């Protein structure tokens, strides 16, 4: 397969940029109002009946194209063609760090940036840096999009009219996409597709750093922040940054609301969920049990971390020497070897050490003096 440089396509009417021919073709229909055909379910527009017929398979869940190799089925012939190429593709470019293989040297180069932390593509407007040129392209597009594609309720901005239409349904409560297994209704096809994976167990999105598989691209993006350390959500009151929006929301409440308090010991918490976990210390409740060894835990995150002792998974690599760890806390301690940081101070003699356990061991020297 030949390596090709990414060349965004420009609409010759309004100048808007698109990454692929199909997106540009659909967009051009908006300039030719006489031939527009609209889907009654999602308001997406098409230039001919045949395009609308193919699109409607998204709503019906109809999948008529089957892969002759693995028998996976698809709604569109083009999607099947892309899928079948993954069987035929020769992946001759191998990452010497993690062993993952790629079909082009360009893909391998972009992948290596995850290990090195390099972000060679930067936005000339805001300075934000990206691992790949395609990520930079979508960033620019999102930030130069017309105001007409902004939700008038919450002001969120979208790249396409169909995305805006889908989004508005979340405010209106409209759910026109139905699961044919459990009959649950969803606001858009993306949410429906993710939901169906609950039934199938499919996890098609794989992390190229640690190999973990996820059920959606959104979950994969969240997961990758473990490796990159990215914290895009910042508190406007104190400047503290977080990897996930829900953690920022919990944190903001510490500034604006009264903290939930344990009625047994009086300890305060930033959210009721943390208080509930804490209470199990007093009750001894451990509802999360390991299916391998039977060990029980008071909260789900501790069980997830424990399971790595069985699987050998080490999702936290050191960006300096490459050594990987099962727990983020151990990576933090390890990094102090490189930085020389010793944040724990003995209040008796003033000696500093790299972790609390070493401080406890050191203080025993003074006890026997």
> pTM for the complete prediction?
0.36
Which pLDDT score is estimated for 243?
Answer: 81
Domains annotated on the chain, with CATH: 234-367 (3.30.160.60)
Rounded distance, CA 317 to CA 116, Å? 11
Rounded distance, CA 262 to CA 250, Å? 17
How far from 28 is each of 48, 146, 162, 204, CA to CA, in Å? 13, 15, 14, 32
Which pLDDT score is estimated for 2?
Answer: 36
pLDDT one-digit tens code per residue, 247-306? 888 788 777 777 788 888 888 887 777 888 888 888 888 888 888 898 998 888 888 888
Which pLDDT score is estimated for 153?
Answer: 79
Which pLDDT score is estimated for 161?
Answer: 67
Which pLDDT score is estimated for 27?
Answer: 67
3-state secondary structure the chain: CCCCCCCCEECCCCCCEECCHHHHHHHHHHHCHHHCEECCCCCCEECCHHHHHHHCHHHHCCCCEECCCCCCEECCHHHHHHHHHHHHCCCCEECCCCCCEECCHHHHHHHHHHHHCCCCEECCCCCCEECCHHHHHHHHHHHCCCHHHECCCCCCECCCHHHHHHHHHHHHCCCCEECCCCCCEECCHHHHHHHHHHHHCCCCEECCCCCCEECCHHHHHHHHHHHHCCCCEECCCCCCEECCHHHHHHHHHHHHCCCCECCCCCCECCCHHHHHHHHHHHHCCCCEECCCCCCEECCHHHHHHHHHHHHCCCCEECCCCCCEECCHHHHHHHHHHHHCCCCEECCCCCCEECCHHHHHHHHHHHHCC
- Angle between helical axes of 105-116 and 217-228 (0-180°, round to 10): 50
Flag residues of the chain having pLDDT under 50.
Answer: 1-7, 34, 145-147
Give buried/exposed letters for 256-270 (b at 16+ CB in 10 A, else e): eeeebeeeeeeeebb
Rounded distance, CA 34 to CA 13, Å? 16
Which pLDDT score is estimated for 35?
Answer: 54
Which pLDDT score is estimated for 212?
Answer: 79
Which pLDDT score is estimated for 23?
Answer: 66
Which pLDDT score is estimated for 26?
Answer: 62
Rounded distance, CA 305 to CA 286, Å? 15
Which pLDDT score is estimated for 89?
Answer: 59
How far from 290 is each of 24, 212, 285, 295, CA to CA, in Å? 50, 19, 15, 5
């Amino acid at each position: 397969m030949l390596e090709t440089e990414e060349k965004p396509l420009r609409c010759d009417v309004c100048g808007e940029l698109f990454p692929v021919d199909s997106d540009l073709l659909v967009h051009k229909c908006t300039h030719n109002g006489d031939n527009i055909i609209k889907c009654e379910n999602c308001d997406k527009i098409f230039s001919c009946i045949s395009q609308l017929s193919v699109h409607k398979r998204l709503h019906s869940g109809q999948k008529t194209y089957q892969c002759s190799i693995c028998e996976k089925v698809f709604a569109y012939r083009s999607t099947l063609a892309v899928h079948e190429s993954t069987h035929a593709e020769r992946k001759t470019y191998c990452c010497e760090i993690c062993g993952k293989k790629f079909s082009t040297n360009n893909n391998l180069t972009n992948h290596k940036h995850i290990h090195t932390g390099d972000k060679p593509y930067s936005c000339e407007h805001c300075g934000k840096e990206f691992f790949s040129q395609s990520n930079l392209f979508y960033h620019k597009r999102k930030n130069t999009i017309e105001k007409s594609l902004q939700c008038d309720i919450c002001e969120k901005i979208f790249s396409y009219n169909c995305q805006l239409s889908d989004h508005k349904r979340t405010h209106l409560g409209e759910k026109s996409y139905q699961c044919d297994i459990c009959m649950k209704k969803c606001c858009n096809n993306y949410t429906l597709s993710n939901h169906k994976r609950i039934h199938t167990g499919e996890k098609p999105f794989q992390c190229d750093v640690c190999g973990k598989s996820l059920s959606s691209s959104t979950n994969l993006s969240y997961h990758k922040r473990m490796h990159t350390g990215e914290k895009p959500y910042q508190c406007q009151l104190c400047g503290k940054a977080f990897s996930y929006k829900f953690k920022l929301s919990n944190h903001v409440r510490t500034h604006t609301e009264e903290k939930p308090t344990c009625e047994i010991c009086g300890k305060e918490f930033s959210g009721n969920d943390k208080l509930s976990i804490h209470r199990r210390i007093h009750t001894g409740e451990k509802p999360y049990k390991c299916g391998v060894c039977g060990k029980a835990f008071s909260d789900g995150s501790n069980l997830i971390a424990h399971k790595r002792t069985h699987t050998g998974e080490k999702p936290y690599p050191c960006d300096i020497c490459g050594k990987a760890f099962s727990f983020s806390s151990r990576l933090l301690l390890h990094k102090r070897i490189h930085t020389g940081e010793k944040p724990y101070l003995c209040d008796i003699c003033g000696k500093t050490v790299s972790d609390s356990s070493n401080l406890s061991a050191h203080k025993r020297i003074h006890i026997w003096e």
